[in-house]
């Protein structure tokens, strides 16, 4: 017995006893009059939200005549690609039934296939569209450019083809097309091409400015980002967030906080994205007062760090790095759904403050909860052992990476094990790890080993490592100074003087020392020899007074 198709009325946002809006649409369609997008789309959206079967909805659009409306047909295709109840294969059925499909439906197929199948499939619909003499519109090209940034295809080659088509059509200056192209080149890290489009544009909107600022910030050119930021005719919250994030990524945390304070002074209300960047800056500077202010702001505005794991992780990381381990633990346990990044942040915070045992307890608890351990997890766990002198545990964790979890150690893991051994005084074993690792060690890893040699008075290894570093970085005065100090500590004064002379001959300079102090929510930066601080005279007076009192104690 044939199964009857259920009535659509139970899925629609109106009572069966009232006149269905679809019947009016059917009359309009039958007279050749199509309703506007703002009338049809909300109706279809509401129907789709209540209907559990795309085929039922499709059938009703046919019987009502709505399928002949270009907006309705394209939206029905879009529904097929929606997650959950979507059915990408059924989109092809609907598309094939249309005679002929219009530009809206072609666009829906392009972006739908690009998102759910492959970028090449989406782009192929464009060429089929041309073969059937359907004229593309600006959104067609915006979707094509988006397709070039998806999947694992060679987006660069596809991008060139699509850009060529855009130039052939003469529509590069249309803002939606141009912004899509800029975003594509930024995504490919071809910032010069993106900037060329930006500079020759006749009209720029906020999207144009924000795309370039964000791209420069993400890829390390914070100076170019700030130049554009200062030239902007108007700024949005996205502009401020992108610039603050750029400073955080470049390690200029003080400037990130200064810009955030300027943003507040202008009355721009931060969102979660902005606050996450600010919390990262606070964590790296140890700016606890400002971090606490952000926490209060989050609670006052009910932004829900308990439900937002990214925001919650930023708070946990900030408190942990600032030494407030108890608060970090409290927040950690209050977050509803924990991911690996959150667990790693808690382990890392405990590690850097020497709470190795507690860090390993979290590491074990993470495994009991069935969390997927990643490279960062092992790095923080080994670091926890290094800061607490737990050599055996750290080596066991390192060896379990590949043996038990199938994770290939990277250069950072080998360096962390060398640091673990070096801190424990096993500098010979640490040198062996660096010499025998399957990749070239980082200069910083040799530098850490050299510092361990100084701490444990190991002249033999320190001399070998020091000479290696001087060959690699002949202009870094710090290497000469450290080796000279190792010689001096061993009573080898002539060798110490020789290294100092070599440093002068090479005109090598030691990296300038820098420190940060937070006072009343403001972070003050001090650099050796710098006299630009507005209270420099009072600072030196206080230092002189402290020096005088210390001499009196002696």
pLDDT digits (tens, 9 = 90+) for 151-171: 544 557 777 888 888 888 787
Distances (CA, A) of 280 to 276, 288, 303, 320, 551: 6, 11, 17, 12, 41
- How many CA atoms within 13 Å lie on the side-chain side of 391? 11
Please state the φ and ψ torsions of residue 150, each to the nearest 5 degrees.
Answer: -110, 160
Nearest residue to 270 via CA among 230, 231, 311: 311
**pLDDT of the residue at 199:** 92
As a CATH number, domain 435-529 is 1.25.40
Cis peptide upstream of residue 100 (ω within 30 degrees of 0): yes
Determine contact, residues 292/525, Cβ cutoff 8 Å: no
**pLDDT of the residue at 3:** 39
Determine contact, residues 277/241, Cβ cutoff 8 Å: yes
| 3-state secondary structure (DSSP) of residue 515 | strand
In angstroms, rounded to a whole number, what is the distance separating the alpha carbons of residues 192 and 75?
A: 37
Determine contact, residues 229/498, Cβ cutoff 8 Å: no
Question: How far is residue 481 CA from its own chain's centroid?
Answer: 38
- Look-up of token digits 């002379």: 501
In angstroms, rounded to a whole number, what is the distance separating the alpha carbons of residues 393 and 550?
A: 43
pTM listed for this prediction: 0.73
- Look-up of token digits 């500079």: 199
Q: Which residues neighbour 303 within 8 Å (Cβ) at sequence distance 6 or greater?
A: 272, 275, 311
Q: What is the CA radius of gyration of the chain?
A: 31
**pLDDT of the residue at 37:** 44
**pLDDT of the residue at 51:** 60
Could you tell me the mean pLDDT of each successive run of 10 residues in the chain, 554 residues long? 38 37 38 45 62 72 77 79 67 82 85 74 82 84 79 64 82 83 88 92 91 94 96 95 96 94 94 96 92 95 92 95 93 93 94 92 92 93 93 94 92 95 93 93 91 90 88 83 85 86 75 60 61 72 80 71
Distances (CA, A) of 348 to 324, 336, 342, 478, 512: 13, 20, 10, 28, 28
DSSP characters over 333-350: HH-SS--HHHHHHHHHHH
**pLDDT of the residue at 393:** 95
Please state the φ and ψ torsions of residue 516, each to the nearest 5 degrees.
Answer: -125, 140
| 3-state secondary structure (DSSP) of residue 216 | helix
- How many CA atoms within 13 Å lie on the side-chain side of 487? 20
What ranges do the domains of the chain cover?
236-308, 435-529
**pLDDT of the residue at 38:** 46
**pLDDT of the residue at 471:** 86
Determine contact, residues 337/309, Cβ cutoff 8 Å: yes
In angstroms, rounded to a whole number, what is the distance separating the alpha carbons of residues 209 and 226?
A: 11
**pLDDT of the residue at 237:** 95
């Amino acid at each position: 017995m044939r199964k009857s198709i259920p009535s659509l009325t139970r899925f629609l946002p109106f009572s069966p006893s009232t006149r269905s809006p679809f019947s009016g649409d059917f009359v309009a369609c039958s007279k050749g009059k199509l309703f506007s997008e703002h009338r049809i789309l909300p109706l279809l959206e509401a129907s789709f939200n209540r209907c559990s079967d795309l085929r039922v909805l499709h059938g009703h659009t046919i019987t009502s005549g709505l399928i002949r409306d270009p907006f309705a047909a394209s939206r029905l295709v879009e529904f097929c690609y929606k997650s959950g109840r979507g059915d990408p294969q059924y989109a092809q059925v609907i598309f094939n039934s249309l005679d002929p499909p219009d530009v809206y439906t072609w666009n829906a197929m392009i972006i739908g296939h690009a998102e759910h199948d492959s970028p090449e499939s989406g782009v192929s619909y464009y060429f089929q569209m041309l073969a059937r003499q359907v004229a593309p519109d600006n959104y067609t090209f915006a979707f094509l450019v988006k397709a070039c940034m998806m999947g694992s295809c060679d987006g660069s080659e596809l991008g060139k083809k699509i850009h060529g088509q855009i130039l052939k059509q003469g529509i590069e200056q249309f803002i939606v097309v141009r912004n899509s192209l800029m975003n594509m080149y930024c995504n490919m890290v071809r910032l010069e091409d993106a900037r060329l489009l930006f500079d020759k544009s006749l009209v720029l909107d906020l999207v144009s400015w924000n795309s370039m600022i964000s791209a420069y910030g993400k890829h390390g050119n914070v100076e170019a980002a700030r130049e554009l930021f200062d030239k902007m005719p108007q700024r949005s919250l996205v502009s401020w967030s992108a610039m603050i994030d750029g400073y955080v990524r470049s390690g200029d945390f003080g400037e990130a906080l200064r810009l955030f304070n300027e943003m507040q002074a202008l009355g721009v209300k931060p969102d979660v994205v902005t606050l996450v960047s600010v919390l990262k800056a606070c964590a790296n500077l140890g700016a606890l007062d400002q971090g606490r202010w952000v926490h209060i702001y989050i609670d006052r505005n009910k932004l829900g760090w308990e439900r937002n794991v990214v925001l919650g992780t930023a708070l946990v990381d900030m408190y942990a790095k600032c030494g407030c381990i108890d608060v970090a633990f409290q927040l950690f346990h209050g977050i509803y759904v924990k991911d690996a990044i959150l667990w790693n942040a808690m382990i890392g915070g405990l590690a850097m403050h020497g709470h190795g045992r507690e860090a390993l307890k979290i590491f074990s608890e993470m495994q009991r909860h069935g969390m997927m351990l990643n490279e960062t997890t092992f790095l923080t766990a080994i670091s926890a052992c290094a800061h607490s002198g737990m050599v055996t545990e750290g080596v066991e964790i390192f060896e379990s990476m590949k043996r038990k979890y199938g994770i290939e150690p990277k250069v950072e893991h080998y360096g962390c094990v060398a640091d673990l051994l070096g801190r424990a005084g096993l500098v010979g074993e640490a040198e062996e790890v660096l010499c025998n690792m399957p990749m070239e060690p980082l200069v910083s890893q040799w530098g850490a080993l050299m510092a361990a040699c100084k701490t444990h008075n190991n002249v033999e290894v320190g001399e070998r490592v020091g000479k290696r570093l001087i060959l690699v970085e002949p202009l870094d005065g710090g290497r000469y100074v450290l080796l000279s100090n190792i010689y001096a500590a061993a009573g080898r004064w002539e060798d110490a003087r020789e290294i100092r002379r070599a440093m002068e001959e090479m005109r090598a300079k030691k990296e300038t020392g820098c420190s940060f102090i937070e006072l009343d929510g403001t972070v003050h930066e001090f650099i050796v020899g710098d006299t630009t601080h507005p209270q420099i005279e009072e600072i030196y007076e206080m230092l002189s007074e402290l020096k005088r009192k210390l001499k009196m104690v002696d």
